[in-house]
Structure formats: structure tokens, C-alpha cells
């Protein structure tokens, strides 16, 4: 969305998901933004968002060392002074980079500070003697002559990671690391998690280089127009949290949370020993070919998103490990949901993540791997029951006092899952050390996945105080085995089908849907009938020979007719207008419905009357028209 806006094409995230072709997007795209965001400097106090409340609820010690960071290889020489100027411009443009947090009696307060008047640049030839000042936004380290550059890199990383302060600042530091003539220089960029998320990095990294190149060429620094501010978003969330429409979600979140069960552990105390210092990681991956199939081939089979498949594999793996066919886990979403047309977050930097519980449940047959297609459909439907992609859970849990009291005492999920999307090689590389070692991890097992250079990798983080390495290795390998089995299943010719959530306007059960459509490969959509259509269908079915709704027109063509092109033109009309590809079903369903087919061939009946006299042709035409009226229409077999 942000890249389209940079080209003067304005779309909403909702439109991007709803309109699945370039042609469809072209119909809804605008040349001007429908949201008029504040383009000037945004400062001042703002309310805490749900994810920020979540952070302060869980972490009371060493709050300053909870970061995200990237290590970027540099393919050319960078001028430090210009880079510092570009960083300063970025901090003025992106308000979230200037957040500050101060404790209060009740909780914490946040505000967006004014831009720092004088960012400073520091140079170090000996990283061991480096001392970072609060205004040192960029530090240059020369490691060209260092005997052990990796050890020096780790030390620099640790110093930057532990140097942030959420109250006094800074919440961000960068280090330009000069590696010598034989290696690419590196840029280490550390930001406190309270001010950034994965989506934000996709904005910040290209923005930094855009501004740097503009300054390098002597141009005035300029970025695409700002989207809505964190301040506006926080205000809207607080208002929305107290609307009656959101209260209808409370029962759903209570029901899901009540199903959470403790995970089995190998040893230790799950409350006190689940520390960052004890954390270890198991990594599992798909091949490039398997990843390509997962991303490109599988979505059309069961009309799924990637999380539907990944979480089905996760449910299968955990069911095999625990023996329980039900798993409650915390799912992480980007949190930038299009709940209002008055805000646009496509270019807003900050921490927007929505964390919410979901319950995944398999049938006995699916748990044993005997019906993987049924497992995919079941998990897909369970995920579709989540209201508004989970954003309401945090609002009720943290911004609405009465609902917060009802949700806070319920069991918490001990597994978390996050799929971060696709990244280029080196784009999200890190040196680790982003969390203070004394911090307690918020889940016993945390799974984070992303696609880097066309290959899906998933990192399974756990505490060695609680689990033996082989336990998590077996669980992670079981997940990959289940995922490969799902890919193989989806690529088989007999796989495929729809689920009720694919037809949101209908109230229909899965069994009924399978009977009606089977694989449904040629089905584009299904709807209920309009009142007028319902009346016409009733009349037609019960008085089939009445002919009231049978319209018949004949034409005489003058001149030579190109039959092939005429046929092609009518096929084009059929392709363009979906109502001409619509059939009607009223038997074996609770209420009549209409099915729109994706592709149909226009039926032709060509009769050669050139050997007949005019009178005979006239008679043949009357006979044909009478014959067609008597035949009528097969309403469930269009066109």
C-alpha cells in the first residue's frame, strides 16, 4: 500500500485483500488519499495502546532492553555526516521514533517529544573504549585492524542494545561499522520495540536510503506523505474500546481463553525459570520449491491464507506431542486493521502488533493424519471466527475496565506464533541480544517464521531450564513433516473445496457445502436470492409452463456476418457479466441460493437455412421460437 501511494495510487489494505486482480484494483484505486493525515510535526501526550499496556503489565524490570534490530550490509561507502542528517530527517518525519515513557501512579504515560536539536556523531577506533552519550544517534566503529572482528561486532551490538532508555532516550541508535577494504561495511540499527514492529522496518529502511541519496545528490530531503499518526490511532482505539459493538466480542474471547491448558514441560519451574538467559532456538525450514508451492499454489486449493496452512501443521504437531486435539495459542497479527475509513496507517511507524488467543481443534481422524483436507478446512473456519483479526481482544483486555477485569483472570496461552512475511536476504539479519537476559519470556514456546530469499524458516524459541533440546527438536521436526504432508495433499488432483466462510452472505454448513459443490473448482461466488429473485424463482418452479419471465427476442442481420467473431463477442459478454454465469439452487438447501460460476462456454446452435425459401425460413423461425419457449430454462445449469 505504501509503495503504491509513493506512485500516487491510493488503496486501502482492505481493498488489497478484497480485490485479487490488477483489473479489480484499478476499479477502486484513487488518485488522492481519502484520509487527510496531519503532515506537520506531531508532539504531545497520547494514550497507551493495547500492546503497550501488554508490555508494561509483563515487564517491570529492565524495561529499556527490549528491542528490535537489523544488521544491514552496505555495498558502497557511506558518508557518516550525511547519514546522520538523514537519520535526523527520519526522526522528524516519523513521530513514533520520538516516543518517551514515564511512570505514573497507575501505570505509564507516553508522549511524542520534540526533535532533538543536535544529534551527535561519534567515532571510535577502539570499540572497547567506546562510551555512548545520550545524543549519539550514530557511532562509527573502525574494525579494519581488529584481529577478531566477530567478537568486536558482538561487543558493539551488546553496547547498543543495552544503551536505550524509554524515559530519557534515546529509543534508537545506529552504528556504522567499517570492516576494511576486503569486506562490506555494516549498519547496525537498534530501536526499542515500543517504537517499532516488522511492518515499520519495511518503511524505515527504504526511507533512510531515499533521504540519504537525496542529500548525497544535493537535493532537498522529501518522503511520501505521512499517514495517520500514532497519536490519532491511540485516540481512536480508546474511543472504539467503549463502543457497544465491541462488547459483543467479549463472550468469544472468554470462551477461547477458558480452553487454554498448561503445556507439558520436561523440568524446572515455568513461572520463575523461563528466562531470556536460558533461551535456545531450533530452526526448521522448507526448501525453495516447497515454499513456492506454499505461497503460490496452495491458496487456491482450499481458498486459504498462509496462516491457515501453517497453523494446521502446528495443530497436528502439538496434537501428536500432547495427545490433545485442542491447542490454544497466542497469535500475533500486524494490528493495522482497517476498522475505520478515517485513519490510514500504511506509512506509520510504531508498535501496532495485536496479540490474541485462538483455539485450534482437530477431529480424531484429522489428528491421526487420515483426513488432511478436513483438517485444513476445520482450522481455516476456526480462524475465521476470530472477530476483526483479533484487534478487539487487546482493546477489551486493556482499554475497557469492566471487560479487563473479566479477561485478566482467565488462563493464558503458553504458545505463541507469528508469521512475519517475506523479506530479502540481509533485510532482517540480526546479531541477537535484543532482550535483556534477566527478562522472563512471555510464552514457554514461541514460534516465529518468515520467508527469506524464497525459503520459509521457522525459529522455535524455548527455555533450556524447562525443556531438553531433543523435545523441541522433535516437535519442530514434527511440524515440518506435517507441513510437507499438507503441501503434498493440496497438490494432489482430488484436493480442494470451499468452506462456509468463503460465502459470508450464506448460512450454510460444511457438510451441505461439500454435497452441493464438491471441490467447486469452477465456482466464483454464492449468494442468497434477492426478494425479487425469490419471487420469480417460486413462480417459475411452481408454474413452469407459465412463461411470464421468459423474454425472447429475434433479430435479422443485414450484410455479411463473421460468425467466429460474433461467437467471440457473445463469449466476451458472458465473461464480463457474472449474472449470465449464475445458476439457481433450491432443492436440498434450507433457502434458495445462486451460484456464480467462474468460466462457462456460451452455447451455440447454428442452423443453415440458406436452402429454404423465405416462407420456409419464416416457418422454421416460428417453430424454433416455439420450441425454445416450450423447452424453457434449466435454472440450475447456466447460461
Please state, for a pLDDT cut of 90, what percent of the chain lies above it. Answer: 77
Residues with Cβ within 8 Å of 281's Cβ and at least 6 positions away in sequence, in order, are 459, 460, 461, 462
DSSP SS3 for 330: strand
Q: Is the pLDDT of residue 32 over 70?
A: no
Identify the CA nearest to 472 among candidates 415, 428, 412. 415
pLDDT tens digits, one per residue of 115-138: 987 899 999 988 888 888 888 999
- Distance separating alpha carbons of residues 542 and 560, to the nearest angstrom: 43
Mean pLDDT of all residues in the chain?
A: 92
CA–CA separation, 639 and 632 (whole Å): 12
> Taking residues 141-154, what's their average pLDDT?
92
Nearest to 316 by CA among 235, 270, 376: 376
**Helix 80-93 vs helix 198-216: angle between axes, to the nearest 10 degrees?**
130
- pLDDT tens, position by position, 374-408: 999 999 999 999 999 999 999 999 999 999 999 99
Residue 66 carries which DSSP code?
B
Read off the pLDDT of residues 59-73 as tens digits, 9 standing for 90 and up.
988 899 999 999 999
Asked if residues 96 and 195 have their Cβ atoms less than 8 Å apart, the reply is yes
Q: What are phi and psi of 432, to 5 degrees?
A: 80, -165
**Arithmetic mean of pLDDT, 145-160:** 93
Confidence at residue 10, expressed as pLDDT on a 0 to 100 scale: 65
Give Dmax over CA atoms of the chain in angstroms: 108
Asked, as a colleague might, if the bond just before 170 is cis with ω within 30 of 0, I would say yes
- Residue 14 pLDDT > 70: no
Cis before 639? omega within 30 = yes
pLDDT in tens, 472-521: 999 999 999 999 999 999 999 999 999 999 999 999 999 889 888 887 88
Measuring CA to CA, which residue among 147, 154, 190, 199 is closest to residue 172?
A: 190
Q: What's the pLDDT tens digit per position in 554-583?
A: 988 898 899 999 999 999 999 999 999 999
Please tell me the pTM assigned to this model: 0.88
In whole angstroms, what is the distance from residue 289 CA to residue 455 CA?
8
Which letter, b or e, does each residue of 364-396 get, where b requires 16 or more Cβ atoms within 10 Å of its Cβ? Answer: eebbebebbbbbbbbbbebbeebebbbbbbbbb
Q: What is the pLDDT of residue 86?
A: 97
Report percent pLDDT > 70 for the chain.
Answer: 95
Query: What residues form DSSP beta bridges with 357?
Result: 330
| Radius of gyration (C-alpha) of the chain in whole angstroms | 30
Q: Given a cut of 90, is residue 538 above it in pLDDT?
A: yes
Place of cell 495517520: 228
What is the C-alpha separation between 220 and 389, in angstroms, rounded?
Answer: 40
- Given 3-state DSSP classes, what are the helix, strand and coil percentages for the chain, each rounded to the nearest 5? 40, 20, 40
* 3-state SS class at 265: coil
Cell of 370: 487420515
- In the predicted model, what is the mean pLDDT of residues 210-238? 95
C-alpha cell at 554: 429475434
C-alpha 239/C-alpha 235 separation (Å) is: 6
Map out the domains of the chain with their CATH numbers: 1-34 (no CATH), 38-232 (3.30.559.10), 241-496 (3.30.559.30), 510-631 (3.30.559.10)
> What DSSP string describes 270-321?
TTTS-BSTTEEEEEEE--HHHHHIIIIITHHHHT--HHHHHHHHHHHHHHHH
148: closest CA among 129, 168, 127?
127
Return left, alpha or beta for 8; rule: phi > 0 is left, psi -120 to 50 is alpha, else beta: left
Evaluate whether 87 touches 208 at the Cβ level (below 8 Å): yes
**pLDDT score of 26 more than 90:** no
Q: Say which range, 304-308, 336-340, 408-412, 527-531, has the weakest mean pLDDT.
A: 336-340
Amino acid at each position: 500500500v505504501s509503495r503504491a501511494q509513493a506512485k500516487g495510487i491510493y488503496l486501502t489494505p482492505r481493498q488489497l485483500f478484497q480485490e485479487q486482480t490488477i483489473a479489480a484494483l484499478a476499479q477502486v484505486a484513487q488518485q488522492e488519499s481519502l484520509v487527510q493525515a496531519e503532515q506537520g510535526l506531531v508532539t504531545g501526550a497520547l494514550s497507551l495502546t493495547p500492546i503497550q499496556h501488554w508490555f508494561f503489565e509483563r515487564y517491570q524490570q529492565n524495561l529499556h532492553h527490549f528491542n528490535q534490530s537489523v544488521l544491514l550490509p552496505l555495498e558502497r561507502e557511506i558518508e557518516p555526516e550525511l547519514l546522520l542528517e538523514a537519520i535526523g530527517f527520519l526522526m522528524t518525519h516519523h513521530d513514533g521514533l520520538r516516543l518517551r515513557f514515564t511512570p505514573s501512579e497507575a501505570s505509564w504515560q507516553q508522549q511524542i517529544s520534540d526533535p532533538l536539536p543536535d544529534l551527535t556523531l561519534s567515532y571510535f577506533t577502539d570499540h572497547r573504549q567506546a562510551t555512548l552519550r545520550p545524543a549519539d544517534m550514530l557511532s562509527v566503529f573502525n574494525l579494519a585492524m581488529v584481529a577478531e572482528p566477530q567478537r568486536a561486532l558482538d561487543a558493539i551490538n551488546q553496547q547498543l542494545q543495552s544503551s536505550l532508555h524509554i524515559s530519557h532516550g534515546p529509543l534508537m541508535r545506529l552504528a556504522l561499522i567499517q570492516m576494511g577494504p576486503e569486506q562490506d561495511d555494516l549498519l547496525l540499527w537498534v530501536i526499542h520495540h515500543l517504537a517499532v514492529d516488522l511492518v515499520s522496518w519495511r518503511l524505515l529502511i527504504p526511507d533512510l536510503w531515499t533521504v540519504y541519496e537525496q542529500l548525497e545528490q544535493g537535493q532537498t530531503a522529501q518522503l511520501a506523505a505521512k499517514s495517520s499518526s500514532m497519536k490519532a490511532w491511540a485516540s481512536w482505539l480508546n474511543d472504539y474500546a467503549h463502543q457497544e459493538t465491541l462488547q459483543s466480542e467479549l463472550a468469544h474471547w472468554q470462551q477461547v481463553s477458558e480452553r487454554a491448558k498448561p503445556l507439558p514441560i520436561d523440568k524446572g519451574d515455568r513461572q520463575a525459570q523461563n528466562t531470556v538467559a536460558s533461551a535456545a532456538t531450533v530452526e526448521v525450514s522448507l526448501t525453495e520449491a516447497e515454499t513456492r508451492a506454499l505461497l503460490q499454489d496452495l491458496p487456491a486449493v482450499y481458498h486459504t491464507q498462509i496462516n491457515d496452512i501453517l497453523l494446521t501443521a502446528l495443530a497436528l504437531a502439538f496434537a501428536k506431542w500432547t495427545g490433545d486435539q485442542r491447542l490454544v495459542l497466542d497469535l500475533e497479527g500486524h494490528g493495522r486493521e482497517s476498522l475505520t475509513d478515517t485513519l490510514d496507517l500504511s506509512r506509520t511507524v510504531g508498535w501496532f502488533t495485536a496479540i490474541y488467543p485462538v483455539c485450534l481443534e482437530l477431529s480424531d481422524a484429522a489428528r491421526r493424519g487420515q483426513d488432511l483436507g478436513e483438517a485444513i478446512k476445520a482450522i481455516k473456519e476456526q480462524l475465521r471466527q476470530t472477530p476483526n483479526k483479533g484487534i478487539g481482544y487487546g482493546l477489551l483486555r486493556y482499554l475497557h475496565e469492566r471487560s479487563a477485569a473479566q479477561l485478566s483472570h482467565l488462563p493464558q496461552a503458553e504458545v505463541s506464533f507469528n508469521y512475519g512475511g517475506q523479506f530479502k536476504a540481509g533485510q532482517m539479519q540480526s546479531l541477537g541480544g535484543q532482550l535483556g537476559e534477566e527478562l522472563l519470556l512471555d510464552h514457554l514456546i514461541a514460534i516465529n517464521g518468515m520467508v527469506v530469499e524464497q525459503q520459509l524458516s521457522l525459529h522455535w524459541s524455548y527455555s533450556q531450564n524447562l525443556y531438553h533440546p531433543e523435545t523441541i527438536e522433535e516437535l519442530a521436526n514434527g511440524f515440518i513433516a506435517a507441513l510437507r504432508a499438507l503441501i503434498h495433499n493440496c497438490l494432489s488432483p482430488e484436493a480442494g473445496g470451499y468452506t462456509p466462510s468463503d460465502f459470508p452472505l450464506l448460512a450454510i454448513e460444511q457438510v451441505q457445502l461439500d454435497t452441493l459443490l464438491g471441490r467447486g473448482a469452477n465456482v466464483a461466488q454464492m449468494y442468497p436470492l434477492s426478494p425479487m429473485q425469490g419471487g420469480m424463482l417460486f413462480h417459475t418452479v411452481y408454474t413452469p409452463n407459465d412463461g411470464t419471465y421468459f423474454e425472447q427476442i429475434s433479430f435479422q442481420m443485414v450484410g455479411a456476418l463473421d460468425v467466429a467473431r460474433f461467437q467471440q463477442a457473445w463469449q466476451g459478454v458472458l465473461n464480463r457479466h457474472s449474472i449470465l454465469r449464475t445458476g439457481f439452487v433450491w432443492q436440498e438447501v434450507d433457502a434458495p441460493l445462486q451460484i456464480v460460476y467462474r468460466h462457462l462456454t456460451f452455447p451455440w446452435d447454428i442452423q443453415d437455412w440458406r436452402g429454404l425459401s423465405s416462407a420456409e425460413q419464416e416457418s422454421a423461425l416460428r417453430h424454433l421460437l416455439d420450441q425454445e419457449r416450450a423447452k424453457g430454462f434449466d435454472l440450475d445449469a447456466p447460461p
